[in-house]
Amino acid sequence: MKVAVVGATGLVGSKMLQVLAERNFPVSELLPVASERSIGKEVEFKGKKYKVISADDAIAAKPAVALFSAGGSTSLQLAPKFAEAGITVIDNSSAWRMDETKKLIVPEINADVLTAEDKIIANPNCSTIQMVVALNPLHKKYKINRIVVSTYQSVSGTGKKAVDQLFNERSGVNDGPMAYKYQIDLNAIPQIDVFLENGYSKEEMKMVNETKKIMRDDNILVTATTVRIPVIGGHSESVNVEFENEFDVKDVIEILKNSPGVIVQDDLSQQLYPMPLWAHEKDEVFVGRIRRDETQPNTLNLWIVSDNLRKGAATNAVQIAEYLLEKKLL
């Protein structure tokens, strides 16, 4: 099976190559694609070197599937060209997520809506993915009315330039390229993406809108505050969930323990709880600090952590491709 990775030289594109190899996705021929300035460069996949090619050359090679991680404007321009050639695109940018004609997929939740006709499939925002993986099984049981979420997001969510900025600041290099307006080391920046007219950031509104679409319930109320912190990889979230129905915390823990893609780390006697350090290079969503909100009825507090480059991006995209392959939709 021919597989194209568009944006193969970036942080997420590189992680896609790694995850494809680790999960033994049946790649018969790899077609790494990147910007014009990267054409001719080499990427490594399963111990072999592959030269980066242009999008036109990749389309001409007719891969079965193309994993995109090259930014929204590139996706808007190139994804339709791939799709018109009969290639299934799984896109990691925000370009298609809220398009009513496109499916927004987290395999553990809503892969069942996919058909062979879906040629552009959207991969959700990293912070949304980890939250809904944990919350959807609880929604099925208790019905969520409202979610209040605050995120603590790592710099790798911005990209290599942000990781370089953090390391430069820690090394005392003050004249390096800046991904953020402000210093990120020893700081917390309460802005991810641009601000919108309602005072929320684009990232915050992504969590609001994408959650409803993935969980297939427009009645869920979501409010978010997203914050960038000086961590290299792994996003953390403090989530407060109000249910329509009463719950028992022990039952909640059992439901989460038996949910696909979720690992419960919740043992206060051992000071065991999810942290980015432990989620690093893992594909699961880690949940802990599971406790009742004692200030109002039917409300739960959770702490949710996941590797944003893996389940938050690359792994989720590869899992979509695996589902399509299993169901013979490719």
Helix (H, G, I), strand (E, B) or coil at 29: strand
How far, in Å, CA of 234 to CA of 308, rounded?
5
Residue 223: beta bridge partners? 148
Instruction: Using alpha carbons, select from 161, 177, 151 the residue that is nearest to residue 234.
Output: 151
Is 280 a catalytic site residue? no
Instruction: Select which of 102, 206, 213, 235 is catalytic.
Output: 235
3-state DSSP assignment of residue 169: helix
Place of tokens 């944003």: 308
**284 is annotated as an active-site residue:** no
283 contacts 307 by C-beta, under 8 angstroms: yes
Spot the catalytic one: 53, 89, 126, 215. Answer: 126
Q: How far apart are CA 86 and CA 212, in angstroms?
A: 29
Residue with tokens 């940018």: 93
Summarize the chain as % helix, strand, coil (round to 5).
35, 25, 40
Catalytically active residues, by annotation: 126, 235
